[in-house]
Copies of this chain bind each other. A is one copy, B any other.
Amino acid sequence: MAQHGPRTRRQILRAALKRFANGGYAATSVQQIVDDAKVSKPALYYYFRDKAGLFQALVSEAHDERLQVVQQAAARGRDFRGQLVEILAALFDYFHQNRELTRIAFATAFAAPGEVPPDLLYLDRCQRNLEFIRSLIKRAQADGELGDRFDSRDLAYGFYGQAHLYIAAHLLMPDYRLNRRAAERIVDLFLTGAGAKKKRG
């Protein structure tokens, strides 16, 4: 039995993904994971240092993958609006195909500090994503594609916030479709505003 090592590891990761996504970190026991993966507990501890190590392996992978998805999507966009649409559509598609990983990413981002194994990388990686968006915005402002009425930080927050509330809503209400048309609507709302008829001042 010394040949199917990586397969066992993948089975453990897959079972852990399902359990952590549906039960959270603290409420999921190692026993449940190894039962699902049909391996023994020492098999898990052979591949991962401890429960926290298993979890971190899972989350790190998810964050890196997400950043890659965003960057590749941005590269596909011709102009600024196109970039935003591509990013949003890619994120929607990614999250649609990786619901459980998404669930974990959100849960850890908003979880209480002590709930999840302490790892400063989470915040770093979230901020790196935001900074990437912001850099796109700065460039668009420099190129004149985007006005400079608003600070690039506010704009990045605004866009990213809208995007993630939609994704969160998709988590809570799976029937709400997040496709390319939705992405275009959201980008336009962000770029041109809700459409207020001025009435004050």
What is the interface size of chain A, counting residues whose CB is below 8 A from a CB of the partner?
64
**Which of B24, B28, B162, B172 makes the CB contact (< 8 A) with A161?**
B162
- Within the assembled complex, what's the spacing in Å between the Cα atoms of A22 and B165? 24
Chain B residues, Cβ within 8 Å of A123: 172
Q: Contacts A82-B200, A162-B162, A189-B154 hold; do A149 and B114 have CB atoms under 8 A apart? A: no
Q: Which of B106, B111, B186, B196 touches A146 (beta carbons < 8 Å)?
A: B196
Give the distance in Å from the alpha carbon of A107 to the alpha carbon of B114 in the complex.
Answer: 12
Copies of this protein in the assembly total: 2
The listed residue (B145, B146, B186, B200) touching A81 by CB distance below 8 A is B200
Task: Give every chain B residue within 8 A of A128 (Cβ-Cβ).
Answer: none
- Determine the chain B residues whose CB is within 8 A of the CB of A165 once the complex forms: 157-158, 160-162, 164-165
Interface residue A132 (Cβ < 8 Å from any Cβ of B):
no
Q: What residues on B are CB-neighbors of A103 within 8 Å?
A: 112
Contact (Cβ within 8 A) B195 A150 = yes
